[in-house]
Structure 1
Amino acid sequence: MIIRREYAPDWAKFTQRRANPLADGKTRQRYNRALRSKGIPAKACSRCHDVKALTQFNRNSNNADGRHSRCRECDRTGTALNTAGRLAEKRAYDRAFYVEHAEEKREYNREYTALWSASNPDKRRAQKHRRRARKRNAPYEPHTTADLLTLWEEADAYACVFCHAPFEHIEHLVPLSRGGAEAVSNKWPACAECNLSKGYADPYRWAAERFPALRKRLERFFDLYPLTTEETK
């Protein structure tokens, strides 16, 4: 039998999924009222439109049934989506703001760093020393300027430990680039001439060159601290 086109059934109407009647707000409200009137502890979710037990809805005293209109699962999903959206918007805003005000931010950071460094010279010096120790993988022991002064006072080290000139610099006896530690025991007072001339040289070889009379006593210690990095002290 041949079916003419104008009498052929519309198969799309049979294959398409029917819309959930509870998707309509008024229909869902009537349905939920009917459940309450019959004493059935359930309701239809306003988001997924599934009928679930009241225990699957968070409490809300403003509603007639004392529960939220959305189930807990939909609440979690909605909250996660909203949070992700807000975070994406915040990141986009922050990026645009940084690009627009990059130079102002850099200038502010420079001014703040300079002011903080001038107000906290000891902390700034310790910060530089920690950074330098990290760059050279040198051992580090936390300490403060007060710890150094206490050790020097106990050792009567009030002047340069090499030539007894007035104290000007803090000297690492064993340079960090030769395995010396960023620690109280390795930091002593020194004058500018001794500290700058010593640099990252071998401490015993440098002392032998600066004080020739001590050379014979120091020769056995030569190369005790080989250079571990190519960086300067």
Structure 2
Amino acid sequence: MNTRLAVLGVPAKACSVCLVVLGLDAFPVHRTGLQGRASRCKGCHRERQALLRRDPAYKAAERRQQRPYDRQRARQEDRRAYMLGRSQLRRALEAGAEYDGHQPEDLLIHWDDEDLYACICCGGPYEHLDHNVPLIRGGSHTLDNLVPLCQDCNLAKSGKCPYRFYAERFPSLKPFLEPFFDTHERLTEEELAERQGGTA
């Protein structure tokens, strides 16, 4: 097969990894490569990419490079969630909550990383960004404290202790969650005023 390619004058080249002579269409297009093709054949190229994607350092570098494009896409494609994030940030700052400096588009990227695409309680389309530990209970405005909820679940949860709320929604989890009930006590008006005064 390979010798036939050479005899017939079909454009061909040898793969730099497996050293097999193949037709040019067996190599990925590469603008600066010899004959406009990459040095590795498509099979060797796929194997190399598979190895790289299993390398944590490569994955982290790839993610860092992708972040600016993800932010731009989040702004353009999910304007509703972007505006919800801005609204929640304003509420959190007014309440004097801890804030980690994330932007609304960073939250969408974080949810994408965690496979959070729907309401975490019922699995329906999310309509609200909820503070898992409510602001009134001292919750922070950080990526790990923001979760997607639909309108019904968000209204049902309100300012409740998250562990108590999830135990109500998922009775089978109650034995595991009960020790944490009311871990986050609702703050009194005086405590809220003191907290806001301390952050001013």
- Please give the TM-score of this superposition, normalised by the length of structure 2: 0.50
Cα deviation, 1:97-132, whole Å, max 9, x if unaligned, reads xxxxxxxxxxxxxxxxxxxxxxx8666544432332
Is structure 2 residue 130 aligned with structure 1 residue 171?
yes
Q: Give the aligned residue type for 2:172.
A: A
Out of 102, 107, 123, the position equivalent to 1:148 is 107
SS of alignment partner, residue 188 of structure 1: strand
Aligned CA distance change for structure 1 residues 165 and 154 (closer, same or farther; 3 Å): same
Match of 1:197 in 2: 156
Which deviations, in whole Å up to 9, do the C-alpha atoms of 1:78-97 show, x marking residues without a partner?
A: xxxxxxxxxxxxxxxxxxxx
CA displacement at 1:159 relative to structure 2: 1.0
Closer, same or farther in 2 for the Cα pair 1:228/1:189, shift >3 Å? same
CA contact (8 A) 2:85 2:129 kept: no
Q: Deviations over 1:5-36 (max 9, x none)?
A: xxxxxxxxxxxxxxxxxxxxxxxxxxxxxxxx
Which residue is 1:5 aligned to? none
Counterpart secondary structure, 1:174:
coil
Q: How many residues align?
A: 112
1:43 corresponding residue in structure 2:
none
**Compared CA separation, residues 127 and 167, structure 1 to 2 (3 A):** closer
Q: CA deviation at 1:184?
A: 1.5
Tell me, which stretches of 5 or more residues in structure 2 are unaligned? 1-78, 193-200
- Kindly state the Cα deviation for residue 156 of structure 1 after the two structures are TM-superposed: 0.8
Q: Does 1:136 align with 2:95?
A: yes
CA distance in 2, matches of 1:182, 1:201: 17
1:222 match: 181
| Structure 2: distance between partners of 1:176 and 1:229 | 12
Task: Note if contact 2:121-2:169 (Cα within 8 Å) is conserved in structure 1.
Answer: no
Query: Contact 1:167–1:190 at 8 Å: present in 2 too?
Result: yes
Counting aligned pairs with the same residue, the percent is: 43
Query: Root-mean-square deviation (CA), in Å?
Result: 2.2
Query: Who is 1:208 aligned against?
Result: 167
Matches of 2:167 and 2:82, distance apart in 1: 34
Distance in 2 (CA, whole Å) between partners of 1:228 and 1:195 is 20
Structure 1, unmatched stretches of 5+, are 1-119
Provide the C-alpha distance between the structure 1 equivalents of 2:84 and 2:96, rounded to a whole number of angstroms. 18
Structure 1 residues 99-138: aligned runs within 5 Å: 124-138=83-97
Say if 1:178 and 1:229, in contact at 8 Å, map to a contact too. Answer: no
Quick one: distance in 2 between partners of 1:153 and 1:188?
Answer: 12
Which structure has the higher relative contact order (CA within 8 Å, separation 6+)?
2
Corresponding letter in the other structure for 2:126: F
Distance 1:175 1:199 in 2: 8
Q: Which has the larger radius of gyration?
A: 1
CA positional deviation for 1:135: 2.9
Alignment of 1:17-56 (within 5 A): none
Residue 229 of structure 1, CA deviation: 4.1
Distance 2:176 2:163 in 1: 10
Q: What TM-score do you get using the length of structure 1 for normalisation?
A: 0.44
AA in 2 matched with 1:147: D
